[in-house]
Amino acid sequence: MKSLFGNARLPDRNLALEFCRGTEAAAMSAGRLMGRGDKNAADGAAVNAMRYMLNTVDMDGIVVIGEGEKDEAPMLFNGEHLGTGKNAEVDIAVDPIDGTRLTALGISGAISVVAGAPRGTMFNPETVFYMNKLVVGPEAKDVIDIEAPVAENIRRVAEARKKAMGDITVVVLDRPRHEKLIGEIRAAGARIKLITDGDIAGALLTCKLERGADMLMGIGGTPEAVITACAIKAMGGNMQGKLWARNDEERQKALAVGMDFDKVLTIDDLVCSDDVFFAATGITDGDFLKGVRYEGERIYTSSLVMRAKSGTVRYIDAVHSLYKLDKIAGIDYKA
């Protein structure tokens, strides 16, 4: 199939349904370690399970956003090939656990996510690990400007959503670097939902109709920003970002490879395709998805599966047979 991407073989089926098997596997493996206080063990279990399952998918996948240099990961690293090598050529973005600390401590909001898009369409953040982000849902997608004052963005979103500014809820990561941002949001009269970790899940709240939020603002992970862009594009929302360096050494290293800290990155800069796939499975109970439950021989999972091209959003509650999985899968889901 020829396209704007030359001779690349584009996805012609909903890969998100197959990605969901990977997020389910990661969630079921990591969920066994919920509350045990070991982030590395939980992350390792999730990585192993996700990688095993994604390698069964008929695709020629390359990890663009993976565990990466920041995590010194031996698997699901940037540049790793995934899948059988057949059919669609796909950029893959993974976060086996968005919220490893949440999982380790048994706190709500941890999810496992995979996103995909045609080869060459995902933004590669290189060595820049953080980005300033502004995310909104569909009703406010045309009014945001990350370079405008905080209060102005809140005013615009309130107007688009036909709300008072005092009714707007802004999701913000609870970090010392956000002290000024939080002060500006409060001065504008808006409400704040502070989250300790997991800004992918936090961004999804902007597209949730009930018990959601109106905006996400602040500095979080750049890899997570690319995954967020895939999800928000599939849900009809919008986001903008600007790269953010932790120190001058990181800035100079990024400038040397052509990164631009002044450029406003649009959602299309982060993923320049409308044929985007996204799957997420809850690990611990959260605002968007229920966490994994273990009931003897059965495991219960809750997932979100989306394809931007079709606009289809699926919520999948699955019941897994531990006994049968033990016989056919190369993953140990037992405690």
Return d(Cα 105, Cα 101) in angstroms, integer. Answer: 6
Binding-site residue set for substrate: 98-100, 130, 175-177, 197-199, 221
What residue has token string 């909104």? 136
Binding-site residue set for Mn(2+): 43, 67, 95, 98, 224
Phi then psi for residue 89, to 5 deg, are: -95, 115
Binding-site residue set: 43, 67, 95, 98-100, 130, 175-177, 197-199, 221, 224
> From its phi and psi, is residue 254 left (phi > 0), alpha (psi between -120 and 50) or beta?
alpha
Which residue in 232, 65, 219, 208 sits closest to 135, CA to CA?
Answer: 232
Strand order in the sheet with 130-136: 191-195, 169-173, 215-221, 130-136, 238-244, 265-266
What would the 3-class secondary structure string for 222-278 be? HHHHHHHHHHHHHHCCEEEEEEECCCHHHHHHHHHCCCCCCCCEEHHHHECCCCCEE
Half-sphere exposure for 216 (CA within 13 Å, toward CB): 32
